[in-house]
A and B are shown apart, each in its own frame.
Chain A
Amino acid sequence: SQTIHQWPATLVQPVGSPLSLECTVEGTSNPNLYWYRQAAGRGLQLLFYSVGIGQISSEVPQNLSASRPQDRQFILSSKKLLLSDSGFYLCAWSARRNTEAFFGQGTRLTVV
């Protein structure tokens, strides 16, 4: 069966510090991968998605970047965090387009 791992579960970082969140998927190959952010009262916002190694699409301009160095690995990064980067970050995967997405456990990031 397929599983998705995302870590860490919680993170407190000072303003201006770097960020690296990692997500890996097991039990499938060539998944579509997604990074979402959920802020209070704003719903799930798609940040990045990837259909293959090295292929990244950005949905909104922001202080974040994403990379996919391996087929089942997706990384969310920032060089300098802002207070507004606080939120619940969710990695997700889907088998192919038009099908359901499955989420990791999420990372609650607080920038202080």
Chain B
Amino acid sequence: QKEVEQNSGPLSVPEGAIASLNCTYSDRGSQSFFWYRQYSGKSPELIMFIYSNGDKEDGRFTAQLNKASQYVSLLIRDSQPSDSATYLCAVNSGGSNYKLTFGKGTLLTVNP
């Protein structure tokens, strides 16, 4: 059973701080990694993807991947109250597998 694990939170940070969200996965053959943001009552929206070890930056967001440790993280710099949402980590195992396996998500609250 391929699993994606996230701390459910809630993770609470003050406005302007760095929020760090973590995710581990069980399938060592996983090839593609995604972070989605989901506001309450809404559908998930893609914010980042990463395929290679290392860091990938996009504005205030940085995704970090360490395949040896089977670990992927998302850093949000200068956190804003509008960043308050549930963040979902998703993993695709590649090959003939077309499916994304999602973690249960981490609830982030940014306090003004």
Contact = CB atoms under 8 A, between A and B. Distances in A.
B1 to A, nearest CB: 12
B10 interface: no
A43 B97 contact: no
Interface in A95-109: 97-106, 108
A44 B32 contact: no
Contact of B102 (A44, A49, A98, A106): A44
Interface in B33-63: 34, 41-46, 49
B77 interface: no
Given A43-B102, A43-B104, A99 B43 contact: no
Contacts of A101: 34, 46, 90, 100
A74 B45 CA distance: 20
B: contact size bracket = 20 to 34
A105 B71 CA distance: 29
Nearest to A4: B43
Given A44-B88, A98-B31, A103 B45 contact: yes
A42 B104 contact: yes
Contact of A46 (B42, B45, B46, B99): B99
A97 B45 contact: no
Contacts of B105: 43
Interface residues of A, number: 24
Nearest to A101: B100
A98 B103 contact: no
B49 A105 contact: no
Nearest to A94: B98
Contacts of A104: 43
B46 A102 contact: yes
Given A44-B88, A98-B31, A99-B32, A51 B49 contact: no
